[in-house]
Every structure is written in C-alpha cells, then in structure tokens.
Amino acid sequence: MALTRKQFDILEILATDNEPLTQRELEKLTGHSLGTVNKVLKELAELGLIEDGRINNNGINALEPYRAKRAIFIAAGFGTRLVPITFNTPKPLVRVHGVRIIDRLIDACLEAGINEIYVVRGYLGELFDQLLYKYPMVKFLENPVYNEANNISSSLVARYMLSNAYVFEADLLISNPKIIKKYHYMSDFLGIKKQRSDDWCFRVKDGVIVEEKVGGEGDDIWQMVGISYWNEADGHKLSQDIQDVYASPGGKERYWEQVPLVYKKEHYAVQILDCQDEDIVEIDTFNELKAIDKTYDV
C-alpha cells in the first residue's frame, strides 16, 4: 500500500525505535503537531499497521517499498589532493585512526540492514580485494575509463543498480552512522544547512533541491554531502539519463549527480536530508588528514 508522508514518518520511527513512544515524543521526532500525530496513529491502527502503539508485521510490510536495499560506492578515482598517501593507496582505503575510511561507511550500511554492497573501482583497483576479508558480501564493478572521465563514468557502470539504492562518495569520513537511514519516502541527498558556502551546495525550496552550484549564501543554502538515496522509480530513470548525459557533448566531464540535479532535473524531485557538520567530513587534502590524524604529521 502507498503511505502518506505523515503515515510514513510515524511508521519509520516506530520501526526504528524499540521502545513504545508517547504522542509527545512522536511530535518532537516527526515535527508534526500533536493533533496530527493523534490522527495519524488512529489511521495506522485502522489500517492494521500498528497495535497498542507498536508497529506490527503489517506495518513492516507497508514500509518495504521504501527500504534501502543496496549501496553503491564510487571509489574509482585517484584522490589527487591527498598525495603522497594516494600514490600507493586508493583514498577510500586510507586509514584514519587505524580504520579505513570506507569501512565506517560500509558498517553504517550494514547497521541499517543494507547488505547488497557494490564498490566501483578503478585506480589501484586490486587493492580493494582486501575488503573481502572483513566484508565478504562486497561485489566489485570495474570502471575501465576512470582516468579519462569524471565520476559519471562510475555511475554508468552501476546504472542498472540504482533503484532503492544509496550512492556514496567512498572517501567520506562518517562519525554518525545514524545518518544512513533504512527507509526513505522519496529520493534524497544529504546536506548541511549553511548561511554561506564556498563549496558545492544546493539551493532548496520546500525541502526539495532546486539548484546545484558552487558557492552560495542565504536561508535556502545547504552544503552538499556526497551521499544520496534513489527510490525505485528514480533509479530506473537514472539508468537511461546517465547514459544519455554521458553520451552528450562534454558528457564524460560531468559529475554523476549533475544528471538528476542539473541536466535532467525536470525528471526528478530530490529532497534534502539534514545532517550536521559533526556527522561527516570530506578529507580533501593531506593537510586536513594530518589535522584529523596526528600519526600522519611526521
């Protein structure tokens, strides 16, 4: 069955919280009014999706179409700005405080029940085989043109696997695994609310991304975080749109997310999903790595 947004919001919380919650707690967690929470709880009970304020098997089944089923890691690039470390180690395999960067992301996926995991590899691709000792479920996709095209070439390799799927830039250092959600109502992109950004950012209206650009300021600006989720319908559209943009003039130079957010944006309505500065960081340079992990500062 198709859930309304408010029904989804409450069911999702009930599915991820083991303890029974009061209506006031649900009000706080969902942002919906107490009256709305009361009304939606009655709807869910009448639909047979909850009993005594707890989600039941029918409720879990109703959430199934909204469940994240797979994760795609874009990990083919060289990591130029992290030299000299990346001369012999792909950036996602660089260790920070003794743990590979990609491990924390994979662990967050597994914690969210996402067990179908693909890594798109290119530069020093064979070194990713070491992941299999800890993560035997990982499957590899080969990007043979990683050194002559931008990361749209990695999404091209994975284009038939993007339904109900997370797409990760594989070099993000995550510290809060709870930002990886098990259920999603719509396709979404993680972002950090900013008054001003000099980085890649989104302009957002009514919770939906309306523009991707470099730099911006104002109440509608969110700094882009390279983690997104694509529902079943949008994943199917992406499989064709990625191919079309890649084949267009200059297409090989595009970033993959520009397909749904710039060049084919009329096909998509992508929500913003809120996270905080302390949840995740992209280590862009060797100096930033040294600042985070003093063992490199020698």
92 vs 99, 132, 137, 154, 239, CA distance in Å? 10, 14, 18, 15, 25
Count of Cβ atoms closer than 10 Å to residue 130 Cβ: 11
- What CATH number belongs to 5-65? 1.10.10.10
**In the structure encoding, which two tokens stand for residue 95, read together?**
């260790």
CA 297 from centroid of its chain's CA atoms: 31
pLDDT of residue 18: 67
Please give the structure tokens belonging to residue 241. Answer: 């749109």
Domain positions in the chain are: 5-65, 67-296
pLDDT at residue 152, rounded to an integer: 96
Counting as low any pLDDT under 50, the low residues of the chain are none
CB burial readout 265-293, b (16+ within 10 A) else e = beebebbbbebeeebbeebeebeebeeeb
The domains spanning 5-65 and 67-296 adopt the same CATH topology: no
Q: How far apart are CA 7 and CA 32, in angstroms?
A: 11
| Residue range 67-296, CATH number | 3.90.550.10
pLDDT tens digits, 199-257: 999 999 999 999 999 998 888 999 999 999 999 999 999 999 999 999 999 999 999 99
CA dihedral of 97, 227, 179, 113, whole degrees rounded to 10 = -90
d(CA 106, CA 166): 11
